[in-house]
């Protein structure tokens, strides 16, 4: 990247992470606040209803998944007519999809007790929450062609300021509802939906201002444009299927074949994984337009080097928290929510333990997306997803292992699937080599995490982890070891140049 691009990228990532970290802090507090005041039956509605909504999100991904990518490409080429053609062609179709989702969602609300196990005392609240979630999703689908202006223009600082502002609104609403009316899980959904609708309205406003070509013109409706976008979007839908398996299936299986405590235990144990993925996603999101621009500019060969380097960066980001969470999992869960949900610690160990295998090839999706060849990634990904689904059924339904079984399924399915399928496939796609992958990505990417694990193990054997203070000190020691190892042993010459540019930029701002 050129220096200006590096500075812009760093600014975008910093703005993204700021909002995501604040969101994580609030989520941690809200979960603890509610779990100490409501029963597992009521709290379990949150992961279960969220799981149901993922099926609706699959429709969004199937029909709107390619809009953002092609808007970026059209705008990067300076083709305003193509921008208008994309919007005009997709708007009628997406309005129809929103109507279909609304119809299916309405049926689900009316027959909610046929879809999930819900106590009669909480049925009405569950119906209200599901209705609000369906409404929000339908509006997002219908308006999606007009909501990507900031993304297409790579205005991620502005986009993240919008996200940050609406996050503050959600926090304010939560505090008013929880303390002004009473602790109920329904307020999580109400606050989230209201802030999401505000976020959507603001993004549409900026699209109108920044991307005036993104407007409806019936004369530009093109079947060919629809076919092109749907071809891309349908392959991105495989990721939606992956979301169903990773985010929806465990909660729904546990809701039907286990009990609310197992639902909550798995939700808590899997929560670090979801939040780490979200943090990394918002940090990596600014890279997608940059990578797409690299490909559009005819520099496809550069993507191979970015695959190795980006995989190393993904590992550094993904493995920062897991050493402490894995080794300190038992005491952490006990201090956080008490001993009733201790299975969450085992779930956490199995899910995060697969991280080195999962994240080393994370750039495969990024490179395939930027190249417009998402099919290559998703064919292999669907195999891993189906294998994980089969293991979830075996461990939860057949072996009746509850939350622990879900953790085992994710650790084994995702870990081995990436090792045996995704790794070889990604290297074939970029025409890379195993030696370079190990030398440039896997080795330097995993070394800091290994050192942090050794520090955590030593701390557990030397101290009683019976207080937040002891856990905090252990985390600080592991983090210091992680960062020191990364800076001293793992940076190559280009990493040091990029780090120097980042330091200079921060000093200039200071």
pLDDT digits (tens, 9 = 90+) for 78-119: 778 888 888 888 889 899 999 999 999 999 999 998 889 888
Average pLDDT over residues 41-50: 90
Based on the fold, state whether residues 316 and 169 are members of the same structural domain.
Answer: no
385 near 441, Cβ under 8 Å?
A: no
- The pLDDT, as a whole number, for residue 236 is 63
Give the sign of the dihedral formed by CA 382, CA 384, CA 387, CA 392.
Answer: negative
Based on the fold, state whether residues 167 and 308 are members of the same structural domain.
Answer: no
In a domain, 242, yes or no: no
Based on the fold, state whether residues 262 and 232 are members of the same structural domain.
Answer: no
State which of 178, 207, 237 marks the end of a domain.
237
Average pLDDT over residues 338-365: 93
In a domain, 395, yes or no: yes
Instruction: Give helix 3-35 / helix 260-284 axis angle, nearest 10°.
Output: 160
**DSSP assignment, residue 321?**
S
pLDDT band at residue 14 under the 50/70/90 scheme: low
| Residue range of the domain that includes 304 | 258-510
CA atoms within 13 A on the CB side of 264: 23
Domain total in the chain = 2
- What are the pLDDT digits (tens) for 404-463? 999 999 999 999 999 999 999 999 988 889 999 999 999 999 999 999 999 999 999 998
Based on the fold, state whether residues 392 and 273 are members of the same structural domain.
Answer: yes
- The pLDDT, as a whole number, for residue 315 is 96
Based on the fold, state whether residues 218 and 164 are members of the same structural domain.
Answer: yes
Based on the fold, state whether residues 339 and 451 are members of the same structural domain.
Answer: yes
State which of 237, 270, 290 marks the end of a domain.
237
Pairwise CA distance, residues 246 & 252, whole Å? 11
Closest CA to 186 of 230, 226, 126, 234: 126
Based on the fold, state whether residues 188 and 266 are members of the same structural domain.
Answer: no
Pairwise CA distance, residues 366 & 364, whole Å? 6
Based on the fold, state whether residues 212 and 358 are members of the same structural domain.
Answer: no
Pairwise CA distance, residues 295 & 70, whole Å? 13
Spell out a b/e string for 453-473, using b for 16 or more CB atoms within 10 Å of the CB, else e.
bebbeebeeeeebeeeebbee
State which of 178, 202, 237 marks the end of a domain.
237
Neighbour tally for 338: CB within 10 Å = 11
Q: Is 39 helix (H, G, I), strand (E, B) or coil?
A: coil
In a domain, 249, yes or no: no
CA distances from 402 to 242, 259, 345, 391 (A): 21, 8, 14, 13
- The pLDDT, as a whole number, for residue 56 is 80
Based on the fold, state whether residues 17 and 141 are members of the same structural domain.
Answer: yes
Pairwise CA distance, residues 464 & 462, whole Å? 7
Taking each continuous run of H as one helix and of E as one strand, the counts in the chain are 27, 0
Average pLDDT over residues 375-400: 91
């Amino acid at each position: 990247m050129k220096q200006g691009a590096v500075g812009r990228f760093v600014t975008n990532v910093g703005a993204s992470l700021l909002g995501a970290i604040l969101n994580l802090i609030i989520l941690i507090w809200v979960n603890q606040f509610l779990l100490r005041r409501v029963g597992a039956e009521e709290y379990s509605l949150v992961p279960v209803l969220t799981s149901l909504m993922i099926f609706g999100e699959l429709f969004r991904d199937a029909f709107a998944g390619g809009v953002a990518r092609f808007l970026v490409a059209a705008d990067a080429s300076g083709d305003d007519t193509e921008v208008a053609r994309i919007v005009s062609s997709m708007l009628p179709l997406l309005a129809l999809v929103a109507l279909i989702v609304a119809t299916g969602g309405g049926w689900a609300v009316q027959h909610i007790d046929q879809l999930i196990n819900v106590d009669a005392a909480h049925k009405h609240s569950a119906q209200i929450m599901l209705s609000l979630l369906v409404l929000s999703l339908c509006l997002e689908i219908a308006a999606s062609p007009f909501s990507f202006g900031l993304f297409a223009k790579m205005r991620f600082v502005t986009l993240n300021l919008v996200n940050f502002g609406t996050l503050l609104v959600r926090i304010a609403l939560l505090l008013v509802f929880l303390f002004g009316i009473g602790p109920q899980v329904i307020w999580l959904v109400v606050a989230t939906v209201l802030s999401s609708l505000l976020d959507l309205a603001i993004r549409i406003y900026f699209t109108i201002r920044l991307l005036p070509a993104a407007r409806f013109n019936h004369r530009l409706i093109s079947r060919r444009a629809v076919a092109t976008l749907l071809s891309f979007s349908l392959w991105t839908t495989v990721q939606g299927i992956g979301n169903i398996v990773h985010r929806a299936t465990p909660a729904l299986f546990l809701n039907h074949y286990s009990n609310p405590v197992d639902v909550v235990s798995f939700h808590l144990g899997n929560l670090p994984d979801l939040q780490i993925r979200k943090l990394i996603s918002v940090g990596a999101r600014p890279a997608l337009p940059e990578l797409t621009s690299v490909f559009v500019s005819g520099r496809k060969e550069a993507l191979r080097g970015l695959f190795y380097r980006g995989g190393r960066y993904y590992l550094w980001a993904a493995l920062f928290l897991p050493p402490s969470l894995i080794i300190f999992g038992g005491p952490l869960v006990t201090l956080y929510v008490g001993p009733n949900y201790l299975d969450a610690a085992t779930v956490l160990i199995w899910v995060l333990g697969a991280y080195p295998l999962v994240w080393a090839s994370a750039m495969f999706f990024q490179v395939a997306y930027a190249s417009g060849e998402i099919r290559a990634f998703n064919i292999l990904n669907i195999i891993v997803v189906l294998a994980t689904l089969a293991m979830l059924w075996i461990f939860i339904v057949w072996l009746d292992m509850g939350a622990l079984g879900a953790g085992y399924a994710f650790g084994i399915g995702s870990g081995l699937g990436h090792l045996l399928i995704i790794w070889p496939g990604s290297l074939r796609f970029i025409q890379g080599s195993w030696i370079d992958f190990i030398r440039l990505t896997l080795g330097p990417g995993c070394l800091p995490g290994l050192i942090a694990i050794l520090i955590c193990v030593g701390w557990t054997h030397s101290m009683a982890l019976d207080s937040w203070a002891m856990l905090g000190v252990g985390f600080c020691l592991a983090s210091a070891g992680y960062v020191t190892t990364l800076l001293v042993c793992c940076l190559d010459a280009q990493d040091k140049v990029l780090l120097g540019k980042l330091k200079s930029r921060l000093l200039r701002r200071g």
